[in-house]
Amino acid sequence: MRNYRALVADLGWVCLSPYIALLVRDNFVFNQPHWDAIIPYSGFTFVAGAVVFGALRPHKTLYRYTSLFDLLRISAAVTLTIFLALSLSFLTSRLEGVARSIPVIQWLILIAILIWIRVLARMWSEFQRRSNVVRGSPTTEHVLVIGVSHLTELYLESLAVYAPRRLEVVGILSEHRELRGRLLRNQVVLGAPEKLASVLEQLELHGVEVARIAVIEPVERLSRSARNAILAVEQTSDVKIDWLPERLGLTEESSKDGTGQVGPAAGTKFRKNSWPFGVEGGTFGRYGYVKRAADIILAAVLVIALAPLIGFVGLVVVADVGLPIVFWQKRPGRFGCTFKLYKFRTMRAPHDGEGKRIPDEYRSTGIGRVLRRMRLDELPQLYNILIGEMSFVGPRPLLPWDQPINVISRLSVRPGLTGLAQVHGDRDMPPNDKNALDIWYIKNASPWLDLKIAVRTGLVLVRGERLDVKMLQRVREALKLELEDSSAAGAPAVNMPHLAA
């Protein structure tokens, strides 16, 4: 019933969109002849919307779980709806009495309404979830499940209820070919257990490091090749294998480790007062609220203004490397919470038709290098900024294994699309220096500094990266002096081991 209500709401906005566009076009002045002429076009818009939205089903996803792909699907549904309505109206009445600007204004308004309803619902859900206690990614373990059965469904439901932040399922493997690509409680069946090693490599490319494998099928039901693949991973890596039927006493074999437990001990909870510099207003004091409001407004404006460019880049990616258009990686964000960072794909698939790994230098394309050089592959991160996972300016989000050890201060703020380290250094700058620049920014953030970084980002796009030795030396001296002052006063210093050398 909830899905139908969402569909009715979407179609209601579709039906109203021609009249809203007419009001905007006429400067909110009621003109009876114009309203009479728009009625047939509105009817065709409703019919087209019912067909297109019923086929693409953008209403199926709950608003609080809206993803980038849902927003792309909404954009496609709106575009197809208006195109079909224009075609029907042109064939019947040659769009008599309908201004040619109406469909363009209608397209912008309808996309803005349908997307913002979902984005606001997602933002509200994230705000409620993080308002009191936020648990960090260092205590979140990624789990890969092997086997599809009633026990699999119970296991997934149990994790969702009792360990939603401590254990995160990243996919399922099954020996049944007909299940490949299907969903079980929103988890995708990625492939067969025999391909376990290659699946782990694929997930690692996305920034997902699997720490635990839950084998749901009893050992005797697994094929010899599947058992060998699991045992090979168990013997050659640190990935923990949970043989659940044995652990739960459902077979005659005893548990391999005798613990009888599923999952690790409860992780540490990171409360707001445990983070350095405080977090009111997002660590930046009152400026944090202004910074977040500016992020939302600017991201919304850019999404609409750059929609043609985003669509063009998407077509270029399809022509260059094929589908899918968007690539994602899991990165630690604010308070260590992992999120999916989106980019346009700029490299070919990591494996050939025979499943052999292709070196990165052969996967890169000329067009991909141009997109990365111009930072056009970063455009999908406007979505990350809209829903509050990122900011325009801040420390760049790193992969979990690239995160500096014992330096949690850079995780006390939202990661940025650009940052101080990106505009004052280059790709070859040592990680310690980049981290020093990020920490200095967190402690000195201001509207003026953000504006300077934004301007320098434009210069970097034009002339390329250049190491700013003076800025780096200034940051080193400032942070080193602060450490010395803190030690002399007997106050605990922020963990910055890279300055101790």
The letter for the amino acid at 393 is V
Q: Band of the pLDDT at 3, cuts 50, 70, 90?
A: low
How much of the chain exceeds pLDDT 70, in percent? 84
Q: Name the average pLDDT for the chain.
A: 81
Residue 492 predicted with pLDDT over 60: no
CA 103 – CA 44 distance, rounded (Å) = 12
**Higher pLDDT among residues 184 and 144, named by residue:** 144
pLDDT number for residue 277: 45
pLDDT number for residue 494: 43
pLDDT number for residue 20: 93
> CA–CA distance from 390 to each of 269, 310, 384, 444 (Å)?
22, 19, 5, 18
Other beta carbons less than 10 A from residue 192's beta carbon: 20
pLDDT average, residue stretch 310-319: 89
Lowest mean pLDDT: which of 44-53, 122-131, 364-373, 492-501?
Answer: 492-501
Work out whether strand 187-191 and strand 183-184 pair parallel, antiparallel, or are unpaired: antiparallel
Residue 479 predicted with pLDDT over 90: no
**Higher pLDDT among residues 246 and 393, named by residue:** 393
- pLDDT tens-digit map of 200-239: 988 888 888 899 999 998 888 888 899 889 988 888 888 9
**Higher pLDDT among residues 361 and 291, named by residue:** 291
pLDDT number for residue 437: 87
CA 283 – CA 409 distance, rounded (Å) = 10
- pLDDT tens-digit map of 33-52: 888 888 889 999 999 999 88
371, 346 in Cβ contact below 8 A? yes
CA 86 – CA 100 distance, rounded (Å) = 10
118, 90 in Cβ contact below 8 A? no
Q: Which domains are delineated in the chain?
A: 2-130 (no CATH), 135-269 (3.40.50.720), 275-499 (no CATH)
Residue 486 predicted with pLDDT over 60: no
Q: Band of the pLDDT at 257, cuts 50, 70, 90?
A: very low
Highest mean pLDDT pick, 124-138, 142-156, 360-374, 399-413: 142-156
Residue 294 predicted with pLDDT over 50: yes
pLDDT number for residue 350: 75
Q: Give residue 220's Cα distance to chain centre.
A: 39
| Cβ burial, residue 354 (10 Å; 0-12/13-18/19+) | exposed
> CA–CA distance from 480 to each of 474, 475, 477, 485, 489 (Å)?
10, 8, 5, 9, 14
414, 395 in Cβ contact below 8 A? no
Longest alpha-carbon distance in the chain: 83
CA 392 – CA 349 distance, rounded (Å) = 29
- pLDDT tens-digit map of 429-475: 777 888 888 888 888 888 999 999 999 988 888 887 777 788 888 88
Please enumerate in sequence order all residues whose Cβ is within 8 A of that of 187, keeping only pairs 6 or more positions apart, or say none: 145, 156, 169, 171, 172
Question: Among the residues of 379-445, which ranges form H helices?
Answer: 381-386, 420-424, 431-444
Residue 428 predicted with pLDDT over 80: no
pLDDT number for residue 264: 31
Q: Band of the pLDDT at 129, cuts 50, 70, 90?
A: low
* pTM summary value: 0.59
- pLDDT tens-digit map of 322-335: 888 888 888 888 87
pLDDT number for residue 359: 76
pLDDT average, residue stretch 344-360: 77
pLDDT number for residue 482: 59
Residue 259 predicted with pLDDT over 50: no
Containing 314, the helix (H) or strand (E) segment is helix 307-321
pLDDT number for residue 385: 93
- pLDDT tens-digit map of 359-413: 777 788 889 888 988 889 999 999 999 988 999 999 988 887 777 765 667 788 8
**Higher pLDDT among residues 361 and 242, named by residue:** 242
